[in-house]
Chains A and B, each alone.
Chain A
């Protein structure tokens, strides 16, 4: 017990110092970019943008101009407008799917890590089954049967994220459940619900949040891949993936059409990865862990 207490004190003492050192300019650049994209997507309707679906066959693949800041795509639609409305789709799926994952996976993981026993074996076992499917293959198969829609896509990607969140929550809970404050709460006669919500949840929250951000990055990529293959959201709605897919057709004439959404997507994914990784490093007491 004495050694445990010592190590806790150390953690508390070390954390603020590392926090100050780790948040470099890259982290802030990533945060600014993320907020910028989120705001653009949220207020897309209020921006003075041309319609993302109006075609103009006379102005196909136009170079950037005052009217069309990023030019027009292969069907004469405004590229900037499609990019911003595409951000809406990519970010909606990218944020909502991990919310499903973190809620269900986090709850299952905490319950499994706290109650142990049969329930834990069952949860871990069924997650292994879900993990047995290559995620993209499962997502492809399910969208093929269920049909392509924003809701279906979000749900599938959300379910696919559950095992990973479950593992993170369970691992964190397993170590926390043996700490003194939990034992003390038990000794004071706290109910299971109280221990889970008041003692464990605040401590599991930060690792889960860090993992959530990494999950957002992964989900944006998977959604992009599905839309790229034409199996994501149905046209004419644009998402970054489908824009890149359409841009591939005119790679020789107008590579811009594939590269603009590609760079936007890369920067967004990189930003979420950077923020998530920074948070993970902050919450991970093992120094230098991969």
Chain B
């Protein structure tokens, strides 16, 4: 590989999806089928280049690949004291995010190949998909605040366009309008924050700004307000409670492969939260230490709220995509919590004690989340494809025909619930243990949320896959390319499940080091050290297989040839009859946890009222959160 290409890769990786995006409608004029292939080619090329760049950045120690637009090569040209060009800079964290985005986009575009065939406007679909991919890369690569704003807006426009893709549904437009209002207001608030920092320091380049902010005698009011504004805006993009309300709307209305990519677009918002609080304000901890520790607490509180409200709202949903959207919010809480704990203790002795582990867990969870949540949204898409409805109460018996989809769903559901030995467990274990050292109560909440996550996925599995075939379900398995798209992500989950320590070493550690300015990597082994203990998925998996073999052997010792007779033959349902008028009782999905939700009625009533669906109130909550966060930053 020639050095020239590698030097230009940060720009090329953004440019190629843009080129393919705007050429797609032109090719669509010739043939729609060709435009699909063209878009696939675009994503494949981009993914390949991203892997090369990721290898370059992540294999070394503290490698930063910079690309300055319009410059001859060495550094930023200055006008006066101000750097006058836009620069991309790709460090460990950016490359980490880029790899995730490329991988999920690859799975999503393969899946889309037959998924969108039954809709019109395929070429526009792929145009927006590629545009979204470019915007995602732009958000994580850019080293310039205003450029970040531009990519933020491009991402919003592409996401909203795709949310409204199924234009026969009025709800799709409703969701798109709400999300666009929400994200545009947030974007403008970010623009004000940029203005504040530019007016104060005259820089837009993040590294220059970090130097200027850290180089003062003490923090100015402007710095504090700007940090509060930016953290809240990007928390909105990431979908943190209480500023998440448009996110489940848009997630659930977008077509399934888009929702999978939407997850990575939200994670770009998460990336921006971390980039701003660590890189922009973490330059000189003697000056900014107090402020970013408060920012860490803001992230922790947002994280706890997201985890808990997200999962409890998911438990009562009957729309399968909306349910999964609330889970995405809940899982985002883990990332905010993990990295928030790291930020709270950054620069103190506790960082080495447990802060670094918490950050590793939070960032590792971004990786795992993108894979399993992407997979789950794709399986949801497959279910909707066959069932023709998103209502869990009207689905049923789909597992009889969709064996592969059921397997993929189980893999994703176990991973999201943090069941060992799945990859979701590895990252959650790091978070549990380190957060427990930080504050035992928060650690306990994190574990409780995982339990509730499992509970609600049991409900989905029960309602969609099991039971007798419901009316109107199409027979057979989904088309092969849809299965292939799911298989890409499921295969990755299985591979990374058994090598958590290797993922941490090769992908997560450079990202943590890039953010926290620390050094070092974990050892090259398969055992993941969690600070207080260790975790080896292969040993655990082996033990599980052994336990199953022993159980089967014990079972073989029993009397052969016994069969159930009489009453013993009947299914047992807590002593009640399992049939009414000769037909088996089928409990619809939304009644599964009736007792639980009834007991928590006093919690659910205000929380459901909070998600009122009125966009004015959503913006009001955003403004209130802004006010509270800024007040906390300024006063404390």
The answer on A and B forming one complex is no
